[in-house]
């Protein structure tokens, strides 16, 4: 694969990762309401989900899900329900999330698991891989090399996503530290997080394969 194709793919991947969506918004919210370690724990989970999507695309599971209306609907609604569940949790969280005491008892494993589920249950990621990857595959080397090339593209996507999400975590923590000094704003952060996740969950449920 040429350097030009790799750079083109990387550009498309970065644009997708920077677009507002459940993944980067959840990293942003966790880093602001807790700290950068919470955002990085979520990032590890999201990147694990990306790895799952990559392997699924490489062995053909993604294409199977896309071709089956029932399977696609199951994944889509499961993702939407999970996002709405996270939104409900955000609404019911106590308003003291920004306090130092709460930062000392973070459940990073839970955030990691949430990150995995959020990414795996987001069919838009699968559809992006299914639509974009073939455009950067060199078919002249034989069909047997296609899965390996897809895995390579997936790893590249994972690396840039990890860098972007980690950067978001560091900057969001600084914003969260500033917000913690303004109680009126801090108390409303969970509400804003819940609204964002709720909107994304509803839009996911109402969306189609396009």
| Sign of the CA dihedral with 178 first, then 179, 180, and 183 last | positive
Model confidence pLDDT, tens digit, residues 75-103: 778 878 877 887 887 777 655 444 444 44
Q: What is the mean pLDDT of the chain?
A: 79
pLDDT at 40: 94
- Taking only Cα atoms into account, the Rg of the chain, rounded to an integer number of angstroms, comes to 18
Model confidence pLDDT, tens digit, residues 113-151: 989 998 888 877 877 787 777 778 776 666 667 788 888
Split at pLDDT 50, 70, 90, the class of 73 is confident
Among residues 4, 11, 3, the alpha carbon closest in space to that of 132 is found at: 11
Q: Give CA–CA dist 100/172, Å, rounded.
A: 16
| Global model pTM greater than 0.85 | no
Q: Give CA–CA dist 82/199, Å, rounded.
A: 12
Per-residue H/E/C for 71-127 = HHHHHHHHHHHHHHHHHHHHHHCCCCCCCHHHHCCCCHHHHHHHHHHHHHCCHHHHH
pLDDT at 104: 45
Distances (CA, A) of 109 to 20, 101, 206: 24, 18, 31
């Amino acid at each position: 694969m040429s350097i030009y194709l790799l750079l083109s793919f990387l550009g498309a991947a970065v644009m997708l990762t920077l677009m507002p969506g459940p993944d980067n918004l959840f990293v942003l919210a966790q880093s602001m309401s807790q700290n950068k370690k919470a955002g990085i724990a979520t990032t590890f989970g999201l990147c694990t989900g990306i790895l799952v999507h990559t392997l699924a695309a490489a062995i053909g599971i993604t294409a199977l899900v896309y071709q089956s209306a029932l399977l696609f609907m199951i994944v889509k609604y499961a993702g939407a329900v999970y996002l709405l569940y996270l939104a409900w949790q955000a609404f019911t969280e106590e308003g003291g999330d920004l306090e130092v005491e709460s930062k000392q008892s973070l459940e990073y494993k839970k955030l990691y698991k949430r990150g995995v589920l959020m990414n795996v249950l987001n069919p838009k990621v699968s559809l992006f891989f299914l639509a974009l990857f073939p455009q950067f595959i060199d078919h002249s080397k034989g069909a047997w090399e296609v899965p390996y090339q897809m895995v390579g593209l997936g790893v590249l996507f994972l690396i840039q996503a990890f860098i972007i999400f980690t950067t978001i975590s560091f900057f969001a923590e600084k914003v969260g530290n500033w917000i913690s000094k303004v109680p009126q704003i801090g108390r409303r952060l969970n509400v804003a997080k819940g609204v964002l996740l709720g909107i994304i969950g509803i839009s996911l449920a109402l969306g189609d394969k396009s």
